Structures are given as structure tokens and as C-alpha cells.
Structure 1
Amino acid sequence: MRANYRMQRLFVKVPLSEGATVTPDTAQTHYLLHVLRMVEGAEVLVFNGVDGEWRARLGHASKKLVTLTAVEQTRPQPDPSPLLFCFAPLKVGRLDYLVQKAVEMGAGTIQPVMTQHTQGAAPRRDKMQANAVEAAEQCGVLAVPAIEDAVKLDALLDGWDASRRLVFCDEDAPGDGPLAALQALGPSPVALLVGPEGGFSDAERQRLRALPFVTAIPLGPRILRADTAAVAALALVQATLGDWR
């Protein structure tokens, strides 16, 4: 069932069921009352990433406090997405974009990975979480992805579960078309790895190619920026192996 884009959506951190009362946080209350200028009896959609989406009605409202009562479930909670999205962090503005697009594209877990050519410090987990929530509210996603702390690439590979296939975007992979390589993969869980602006180092690429659970794919004849490559690769994986099939 597709999202209702005509109603405002709010992510909340409390259990949801018929008759449950929700007290929005200070920022949400300000938005509802002073930006949207909603009044008692108005309705919004609420979700918590666990109990599905609910239509909720504004009850008591003052200048600083509002309550919401869950009236009816509008969509059930879907199964968690198995897609693990691993990426080398980018500069702040483009990092925000990348996290938002990963949420929109259906990633179940978002894992920053520090590579040899990654520029800057590890990203803040709380900031990425806020971006993920905002993207979920805006695009109708019910399951907010898990946000992991950044890890070094070697540590990620050392602890890898070999039952999960790792697809990595390799600008030196032969050919231009990724579809044949993706379509040849079995039904095992999949992860996607996208490198930094400077690409993977030779040593990183050699290690990745030597691992039995890794599949390298090209992304066409043009050099793509890292955020563009990520969105393109997520679309390819979802179309061939994920929930776009």
C-alpha cells in the first residue's frame, strides 16, 4: 500500500495502537501549531518504525503542548529491508543528500566506511539519524534504517558474514554494463559498497576482488560522482535483487 502524501507525517518514539496517546516533542509541536497552524481535531499520520502507520487526531492544544490520539492504522508495518548500504562518507551537504537518498531507495541499514581516500572525519551518527527520519517522513517510508557507527574498511571486511553478498562499485571493473553480474547472483542477502570521491586505493581494490563473497560491478562508461554512483547503484540492486522486482 502506497503512502498518503496529502497528510503530514510524523515519526514518534512511542508504541502505537488504537487509542494510544502521543505527545509530540517540542520541535514537532511548534511545527504542527505554529507552522502548519493545525487546530484541535486536525489529523496527521504517525509512525514509529515498528507498529505501522496510524492516522492520529489532535486533541488538547495550547501554545506549547499538543496531544495526538491514534485513531486507525492506515498501513501495516512491512518486513525490514535486508539491504545493507555501505559508503565512504562525503562532505557534509552531500553526505546529508546521500543518507536521504539511501532511505528513499529502501536501505535497511546504513553503514559509513572509512577508506584510504575518504576525506574528513567520521560522520556523526545522531546527525545521520535525524536526516534518515526526515527523509522517511517526507517520502512515506515506514521503517527508518538502522544507522551504524563508521568503521574502517579492513575492519568491515574482517568481520563480514560470508553468507551476505557484497557488491562494490569498481570503476576498473571490465565492461560498462552491471546487469549481467547482478542477475547472476543468487537469492542471498545483499550489501552495496560505494567508495569515496577518489575511488578505492589499489590495495583496497585488490583485497575486495580476492574475497569470495564480493562481486565488482561497473557503472557505465562515464565517471560518476560518489553520490550519483550511490543512487545509480542502489537503483540497480533494487531492480535486479531487491524489492523493485
Structure 2
Amino acid sequence: MEDTIAQDSPRLFIEPGDTVWQPDADIALSPEHAHYLGVVLRLAEGAEVRPFNARDGEWLGRIGHIRKGRGQVHLQSRLREPAPPGGPTLVFSPLKRDATDLVIRMATELGVGRLAPVTTERTNTHRINPERWRAICIEAAEQCERLDIPQIDPLITLGAALDGWPSDVPLYAALERMTDPKTDLSAMPQGFAALIGPEGGFSPGEAARLERAAFVRPISLGPLVLRADTAACVTLGLLQARSRAGTEGDTSGHSDLARLQAGFSANAHVQSR
């Protein structure tokens, strides 16, 4: 009966804080969470909720009190253990607002661990809103039963991203109109990285550089030209399925993600000067 009730309870992503999550602990609600629970959902004291994050796992709790933008959750029992970090990296060019929102939402639902935005010669927008992206990630994570949310890198150029890329980490790139890329997808790491181009595709110079890079693994999405947001979803779904089928239980990709993070951070620092 408890499991049934828990599944119907709203999930809340709550940032890890100083409070140790354990039975009978009280977790403070942010004003946004208090408003959402008390005003939007019209929940009262004693209502069940499921707070979660990657560090503490997912818990069953009850609203202790909630009023005027403040409240707390009284924890009862842990429903799910903390999740190990990981997941693929998505390197992509920001699109128009609605299309970018869709890519971020779908990437979160498909388990992406890192969002790495890059500008290309044909990128239409050269600014990102990390706070908005993060809010989309949180909403998607709450809906899809995920415990963590993707990390969001600073915006850098495609050239800088390729310059800092670890040579032994394959980057699976969806290249337009390529129907016979000869890339073996039978033995993929779980921590793979995928590259999606902008609206209009990569420029000839960018495509040539990608084809020359030894770490780039071209993949085909078929003979038709897909929208960039569609290509992102299809690519992630394809690679996730291959990864899970070929390396069940393998966590070797986690170290690759750490080195990718270091490379992107270094190049972002250089560009910001």
C-alpha cells in the first residue's frame, strides 16, 4: 500500500544541504517548493511527497508545515538509494528557444549526464541561460523518476571543444546525409559522448575537421535531413540503446566523463579571458 501511495506523491528535487537525510529529519522547503505544494497543488500538512537528489536518494516524506512561502518535509523512509554519477555527454549547438528547451528536456529524460553547448559557424544564438536550462532539467527529472540532473557546461566554440577533447574518448557525431559511416556501435561505453550540429548543419570546414579528427566516430541517422532537435533525440536514443545492450553493468565511462569535464572547463577558462 505504501508503494502505491508513494508513486502517486509529487517528486521534489531538493538540493543537497547541510542536513543529513535520515528518518525523522526535517528538510526545509524553498519558497518555490512551498508555493508549488501549497498553492498550485493545494496540499496540506501531512500530505506525502517524495524529495530526492543524487546524493541522498529518494525519500518518502510528509509535509510538516507549509504557509506563506515557507515549509518543511518530515522524512520517513528511503525509497531509492543514491545514484552513481555518470551518463553520456551531449555536445550540441544551441537552437531557437523552443527547440533548445526540447533538447534539454529530452536529454534529461534520456539520462544525459552533461550538457556541453558549443557555437558553430551556423549557430543562430550565441547566449545561453543556464538557470532556465537547469529549471527545465529539474522539471524533467521530477517527471521521469531520475535522481540527478545533468551538469551544464559554459558555452564555448566547437573548435575549442575539439581542441580540448581527450584523444582516447570517442565522440559520436551525427553528420548530415552520411549513409555509410562504417562506425561500429557494437561495443560502446556507457559514458559515451554525442555531437549534434546546428540548424543548417556543420559548415564544410567544420565537417572536414570532424572527419579528420581521429576521436570522432561518424554515425548515420538515415538519408533524410532531420531537424536539429529531432536529430538530438534520435541520436541519444540510438546510442543509449547500443550502450546498454553492449556494456551492461560497465562503469568505465565515468572516468571519461571526468576528463571531458576537465577539458571543457579549461577551454571555457581560456575563452573567458
Per the TM superposition, whether the score is higher than 0.5 is: yes
Q: Which residue of 2 aligns with 1:237?
A: 239
Structure 1: runs of 5 or more not aligned: none
Q: Is the 8 A contact 1:88 1:114 kept in 2?
A: yes
Q: 1:105 to 1:243 in 2, by over 3 A?
A: farther
C-alpha distance in structure 2 between counterparts of 1:189 and 1:9, whole Å: 26
One of 129, 137, 141 as aligned partner of 1:136? 141
Where in structure 2 are the equivalents of 1:1-245 lying within 5 Å?
Answer: 5-15=7-17, 16-175=21-180, 181-187=183-189, 189-242=191-244
C-alpha distance in structure 2 between counterparts of 1:208 and 1:94, whole Å: 24
Q: Is the 8 A contact 1:165 1:189 kept in 2?
A: no
Identical columns (%): 37
C-alpha distance in structure 1 between counterparts of 2:85 and 2:55, whole Å: 9
User: Which string of whole-angstrom CA distances, capped at 9 and with x for unpartnered residues, describes residues 57-79 of structure 1?
Assistant: 11123343221012111111222
How does the TM-score come out when normalised to structure 2?
Answer: 0.82
How does the TM-score come out when normalised to structure 1?
Answer: 0.91
Q: 1:186 to 1:64 in 2, by over 3 A?
A: closer
Amino acid at match of 2:24: G
| Cα RMSD for the two superposed structures | 1.9
C-alpha distance in structure 2 between counterparts of 1:208 and 1:188, whole Å: 22
Amino acid at match of 2:66: A
Q: Which runs of 4+ in 1 moved over 3 A?
A: 184-189, 242-245
Structure 2: runs of 5 or more not aligned: 1-5, 249-273
Amino acid at match of 2:229: D
C-alpha distance in structure 2 between counterparts of 1:95 and 1:84, whole Å: 16
Q: 1:35 to 1:188 in 2, by over 3 A?
A: closer
Q: Is the 8 A contact 2:30 2:71 kept in 1?
A: no
3-state SS of the aligned residue for 1:50? coil
Q: 1:38 to 1:186 in 2, by over 3 A?
A: closer
> Which has the larger helix fraction?
2
Q: Is the 8 A contact 1:125 1:147 kept in 2?
A: yes
C-alpha distance in structure 2 between counterparts of 1:148 and 1:160, whole Å: 14
| 1:243, distance to aligned residue in structure 2 (A) | 7.4
Q: 1:45 to 1:188 in 2, by over 3 A?
A: closer
| 1:188, distance to aligned residue in structure 2 (A) | 7.6
C-alpha distance in structure 2 between counterparts of 1:242 and 1:91, whole Å: 31
